[in-house]
Amino acid sequence: MSVLSFWKHRSQDAKKEKPVMKFYDTAGFPNPRRVRIALAEKGATDKVETIQVDLLSGEHRTPKFCAMNPDASVPFIELDDGTVISQCTAIIEYLDGEFGGEPLTGRTAKERAVIHMMNHRAAAGLMDAGATYFHHATPGLGPNLETYQNEEWGLKQKELAQKTMRYLDSVLVDQPFIAGERFSMADITAIAGVDFAEFAQIEIPENLNNLARWRERIHARPGCVA
């Protein structure tokens, strides 16, 4: 192979290996964790460029950040063509279509519908409810970021989070995963929600043995460990 051909091939390989997107992340926060787990499950962690966002300093509220993501939140991804996709469910949908590995959003119409239904229940009833409790009924991220708090609403959402954990425990009586027989996006949302509830000091109701066994299995998955 000539020197010219060698460098031509190297250039082509470099283009192939270039990350296909930027992933705006904040380490330690639950919603970005959902995307990190999805990337690991799809074997795509090394295929994205990860950019850490300093939420505690308010970086997500700067004009530059909001011009990219009007939600003023993480996570979001930015594709090579400049398209920005925020919201965990939408991001995981994209990752599922872009990368190989076991599907996270379902194979059939029925699977996709059930996964989306259970993902929404875990997101609204556990993930969002736990976050609302944290931001409204505890000091949260501190007075500079928690500019409005409604403690009564936060405590109500704590009740919802605990109710949802009981519901998920009942679902897991007859099936190994939140949406059925296969690990899915719904499990990612639920594990992030349960772990964050524990971090926020929301008491996990007693005797949720099915949820406890499921949680142990999910924590042991390579994607979750990674």
Distance between CA 29 and CA 210 in Å, rounded? 26
- DSSP H helices, 18-108, are 30-41, 63-68, 88-98
Q: Write the CATH number of the domain with boundaries 3-98.
A: 3.40.30.10
Q: Where in the chain is the domain with CATH 3.40.30.10?
A: 3-98
Instruction: Confirm or reject CATH 1.20.1050.10 for domain 109-225, answering yes or no.
Output: yes
**Residue-wise pLDDT tens for the chain (226 aa)?**
544 444 444 444 444 456 679 999 999 999 999 999 999 999 999 999 999 999 888 899 899 889 999 999 999 999 999 999 999 999 999 999 999 999 999 999 999 999 999 999 999 999 999 999 999 999 999 998 899 999 999 999 999 999 999 999 999 999 999 999 999 999 999 999 999 999 999 999 999 999 999 999 999 998 898 7
- Amino acid at site 215: R
* Confidence (pLDDT) at 18: 61
Let me know how long the chain is.
Answer: 226
Distance between CA 67 and CA 76 in Å, rounded? 13
Distance between CA 59 and CA 222 in Å, rounded? 31
- Amino acid at site 204: I
Tell the residue number behind the tokens 């501190």, with chain if given.
142
Pair of tokens at residue 102: 């076991």
Q: Where in the chain is the domain with CATH 1.20.1050.10?
A: 109-225
**Backbone phi, then psi, for 24, in 5-degree steps?**
-90, 115
pTM attached to this predicted model:
0.89
- Tell me the C-alpha to C-alpha distance, in Å, between residue 56 and each of 60, 73, 142, 146: 9, 12, 9, 11
Tell the residue number behind the tokens 């949802």, with chain if given.
164
